[in-house]
Structure 1
């Protein structure tokens, strides 16, 4: 394979010079970005009816705002094609519904990152991957749409590492985290339909994520066993920052079929996992997480001066401590290839089990 272009349409040295200029200005995530001209920017803005000065998202404590124009510049820099831009806009609409980013959670020491999950016909239209290597490389739409959000966080909101971004270690999702749901191989209605949109609608769901953990379960076709395996990952004590946790469960098609073939609905899966995602009081005490803070409500040792009992300690069985506040704190989607018993638990930042932040994709055919 040759990496050289015999008849370049532009001077390669000038392109490299522009890329190095962007890097010196710290307008990158560490990887090279696409230089943006006014004419190229107009191709993005032509994909929407929105005013370029419309504010998509603001972070009040930083006194900074992202407009349609700024979102377009960063989408172009990230390597998006102009036809991706309506999905980027929907992603910002979904982010704006999340309560946590505007409160500074993207600056957290935990290393949180935005995850985008795309549903509907737009997946095929722009080539979003929902199957093999769905969390990995190889697909421009996934890589660049997710990257567009991260570049905007850096360039518009100033969230540079070692500066306003205070992540202790961070996550790989801070480069890009955008997947599509494999609706065709799911036994259930897709996520956006579950929450009120139509099958013909396209939509983006935004979540704040903390980490991703694989479930390797190639040994069973018994749904109860699979639910227990997943529950064991969700209840791990290292995930319990707050009193309870929340998660997005991305089931591989094989695992989804184990549940679907047994007649389990999404609610059945949620309940089965919720009922077993439980720690004993002794297990929590062993790691110093058997109480919560009066002020932050984060977990800490019972003997700490700020400690107060958690809600479970006041229930019928105080020694049984659920990791999830309710079954609704677990969202379900299907993605990945139909070739192995692999699923992923994505720990999300949100403990109430609210309806996820979903926004429709608009202006696709402008």
Structure 2
């Protein structure tokens, strides 16, 4: 049997530098990909390597299974992660905002992947401490696989097709798993019709992450008011109304669960209390909306019209959220402090969440 040739450290480093000179990176080193290594990724799926997973028609570019595999390998994924990457692209394709130019938005949006089900343990996805941070290969590289494909397949490079004004760290990688074991409620995927034994990826478009720390109380009303106060911040109100993914730390989730609150109870409370007065909006020049885009404007702007709440019975109360359903709730993080995170999402979800089941060939 003939031994396979082994590349030396100098050759590997030269390949990495070559990739960097071609602009095939996100600024960090990438893994050089050989044909045999690519084959290991493609062996984890029975899908045709030339099947189109996702397309941006306005750019006339398409991501195939093969291209997704190349970028997953470059991102540092193990082959066992690739079914999750494929499901991520399926879920991304079901998110209306991601089918258009939001990838190029000046707001610097990024896809966030939330993973549920047994795959979390099988490949070592982090759902607990430092869930939005570093230290876990599966989380870091699965999210990075999507960003590298955005760069290398769709040409979304900063200063060129990518028009982000400041961007966000999530544009390197944004992938978390839900801490189902420490949640008082059914997991996110079961809430949306999947079986607990299913492994599922949900894709959302996020613009910002806001840290919410409330260690001082176990009162569900006080906790919910703290969250609502964060959700209604005027700096986030670009459109007529907003939406959010609220990722509760286990301690906060437990406080709501112990008090008998359901996810729907919390959603309704947040919608009803994440409210600004007309005077507060006027103070920052956001008391009206544009005639066409429904972006917030000063009332004296020539394109301004009254927002949807201006003719209501209580026109001085302006909800920051489109509806209770505009709030998606998940649980993640360690059970060691009263910390949660609000992620501002790009647009409310009026229908099913963009999800996809992770498929592993028999």
Fold equivalence (TM over 0.5): yes
Q: Distance in 1 between matches of 2:216 and 2:197?
A: 36
Contact 1:146–1:175 (8 Å) recurs in 2: yes
Residue 316 of structure 1, CA deviation: 1.0
Give the C-alpha shift of residue 101 in structure 1.
1.6
Q: Deviations over 1:219-270 (max 9, x none)?
A: 0010000000000000000000100000000000000001000000000111
Unpaired runs of at least 5, structure 2: none
Task: State the 1:354 CA deviation.
Answer: 3.4
1:264 paired to 2:261: yes
Q: How many angstroms does 1:9 deviate by?
A: 5.4
Distance 2:161 2:145 in 1: 19
Structure 1 contact 330–353 (Cα < 8 Å) conserved: no
Counterpart position of 2:220: 223
Are the equivalent residues in 2 in contact too, given 1:253–1:336 (CA < 8 A)? yes
Quote the residue 1:153 is aligned against.
150
Q: Does 1:307 align with 2:309?
A: no
1:115 aligns with 2:102: no
Q: What's the secondary structure of 2:111's corresponding residue?
A: strand
Distance 1:56 1:295 in 2: 32
Aligned match of 1:297: 294
Aligned residues: CA RMSD: 1.0
1:99 to 90, 96, 99: 96
Normalising by structure 1, report the TM-score.
Answer: 0.97
2:240 to 239, 243, 254: 243
Pairwise mapping of residues 39-188 of structure 1 onto structure 2 (< 5 A)?
A: 39-188=36-185
Does the CA contact (< 8 Å) of 1:325 and 1:353 recur in 2?
no
Matched, 1:331 2:324: no
Return 5+ residue gaps in structure 1 as ranges.
Answer: 1-7
- Tell me how far 1:352 sits from its aligned partner: 4.5
Measured in 1, the distance between the counterparts of 2:56 and 2:97 equals 10
4+ residue runs of structure 1 moved beyond 4 angstroms?
A: none
Q: CA deviation at 1:273?
A: 1.1
Partner of 2:188: 191
Counterparts of 2:210 and 2:6 in 1: how far apart (Å)? 44
Q: 2:275 aligns with which of 266, 275, 278?
A: 278
Q: How many residues align?
A: 358
State the distance in 2 between where 1:57 and 1:232 align: 37
